[in-house]
Amino acid sequence: MSNNNNDNLIIEKLFKPKSIAVVGASRNLEKIGGVILSNLVKNKFNGKIYAVNPSAKEILGVPSYPSLLDIPDEVEHIVVAIPAEKVPEIIEEAGKKGVKVATIIASGFKEVGRADLEEKVVNIAKKYGIRILGPNVFGVVYTPMNLNATFGAEHIHKGKIAFLTQSGALGIALMHWTSMEKIGLSSIVSMGNMADIDAIDLAKFFEKDENTKVIGLYLEGLGTGKGHEFIEVFSEITKKKPVIALKAGRSERGTRAVASHTGSLAGSDAVYDSALKQAGVLRASDVEQLFNWAKMMAFSESFEINGKGFVIITNGGGMGVMATDASEFNGLPLLEVPEELKKEFRKTMPWFGSPNNPIDLTGQSNVQNYIEAIKVALESELVSGITVMYGEVAFLDPVELANGIAKTLKEYNKSRKPVNVVMLGGEKTKMGTEILEENGVPVYPIPEKAISSMAALYKYSKIIGKANLKI
Ligand code: ACO
């Protein structure tokens, strides 16, 4: 890893190359090189694509050459999908070709005791100034360029979250899951053995990337002696963008499992925990939580939080209690609603509702009740943020409600308060969820997840000194 500007420009070529070549592209779509080429083609990569294969003239409409040196054009990024033993000679050719960055898919290096082969590859790359992603990776995605150079899911839902992962299988599974859940990604990067490019290099790119609002990290280890640099670099990044990490290998057995996975030394969990805290990185406890928090951050227009506490607006007392518990457990301060404001909330609900926080509009509430209550909360300077909760009832259509909430927030959320929504119910709530998220409102299926995500936003706001709550 290096700090100079030239290296940063080269890493940009990982995500924004003018041209990319798949070495080991195959006509056989059951082979990894075939799938990578197919993903690049089907996603309509915004640059030129070439294939390198000993016998093909063309694969999936892409011109194919027997060697990199035969390509009659410059090549900035290569994806190497041939067996490990053959990789050094390809990197040598890439050097002669003037390639800037190589993603090495092959396994069979340090993770299986072949540190010598890995070192050989890195040394050749250094000789030519090539940066290496991997080896032992599934590839890289960068949605603003329609770049999907992976053998993972073909379709990626576009958005503002960059996810960097040291686990390949987890990353591939999450490509499918985020697509199904419509969680929007700007990028997903498989970091594998991190023989050269590491989490620090990548995060520096995303710090400046205008297409990324939040960085998610799945980490097993940093690499020996990287702790101080990690804290230094991430302390700067987290001032500009939230970073959420999932650090595996917490238990003693987990630490041993890490060593046999990517060859990283996991180190003591307490040391990592303290390093992440010092760097202002939020630590999620599982993958779902990481993406729940990331979604909240990605949809938020501002991290400035004012007022005297958060409010919960609900149509169900039980959900309200669950959200209240979750607020306390997650350190989210709830507003003690003063009498004046209670009067305003009381006007938005049936006579048997409750204007205390949670604001309970009751199971008999309608869309208009929600809209009026949300308006009161948005307009009050005391309210720091709002969680709106809906438990499905037959006579309140979640689709109508979602449209009503989206419109109200668009018109009245002038001070850009953080707002999230819970939609708990059946099929129709899924439709409501989609409507809200298309309008930039994060939605969660249960109160605890919404509250934990709001609390993460509040925590980040405190980290960057933008929480001005007068409690
Ligand atoms: N230049 C160009 N093409 C070449 C070269 C070369 N020097 N040598 C071979 N090829 C071609 C082959 O002819 C073949 O094409 P074909 O099907 O048209 O004949 C293609 O490249 C692939 O070569 P194979 O020898 O068939 O290799 P295979 O596809 O079986 O495996 C791979 C290569 C995928 C790199 C394998 O060795 C490997 O490492 N697999 C593991 C990958 C992995 O899991 N990475 C970690 C991901 S993260 C996770 O855990 C999910």
Neighbours of 57 (CB within 10 A): 10
Question: What per-residue confidence (pLDDT) applies to 139?
Answer: 98
Q: Enumerate residue ranges in the chain where pLDDT < 50.
A: 1-3
Question: What per-residue confidence (pLDDT) applies to 407?
Answer: 98
Question: What per-residue confidence (pLDDT) applies to 88?
Answer: 98
For the stretch 278-307, pLDDT in tens is 999 999 999 999 999 999 999 998 999 999
Q: Measured from the CA of 27, which atom of ligand 1 is nearest? A: 18
Expressed in angstroms and rounded, the spacing between residue 107 Cα and the centre of ligand 1 is 10
Mutate to test the pocket of ligand 1, among 22, 27, 29, 32 (most ligand atoms within 8 A of CB): 32
Q: Measured from the CA of 89, which atom of ligand 1 is nearest? A: 7
Expressed in angstroms and rounded, the spacing between residue 84 Cα and the centre of ligand 1 is 9
Neighbours of 416 (CB within 10 A): 12
Question: What per-residue confidence (pLDDT) applies to 2?
Answer: 47
Q: Measured from the CA of 106, which atom of ligand 1 is nearest? A: 39
Q: Atom 4, ligand 1: which residue's CA is nearest?
A: 24
For residues 22 and 52, give the distance between their C-alpha atoms in angstroms, rounded to a whole number.
Answer: 6
pTM of the model: 0.94
Per-residue three-class SS string for 24-85: CCCCCCCCHHHHHHHHHHHCCCCCEEEEECCCCCEECCEEEECCHHHCCCCCCEEEECCCHH
Find the residues whose C-beta lies inside 6 A of ligand 1.
23-24, 26-28, 31-33, 52-54, 81-83, 86, 90, 105-108, 136-138, 168-169, 172, 190
Question: What per-residue confidence (pLDDT) applies to 171?
Answer: 94
Angle, to 10 degrees, between the axis of helix 269-278 and the axis of helix 227-240?
40
311 forms beta bridges with: 386
Expressed in angstroms and rounded, the spacing between residue 82 Cα and the centre of ligand 1 is 3
For residues 67 and 90, give the distance between their C-alpha atoms in angstroms, rounded to a whole number.
Answer: 9
Question: What per-residue confidence (pLDDT) applies to 410?
Answer: 97
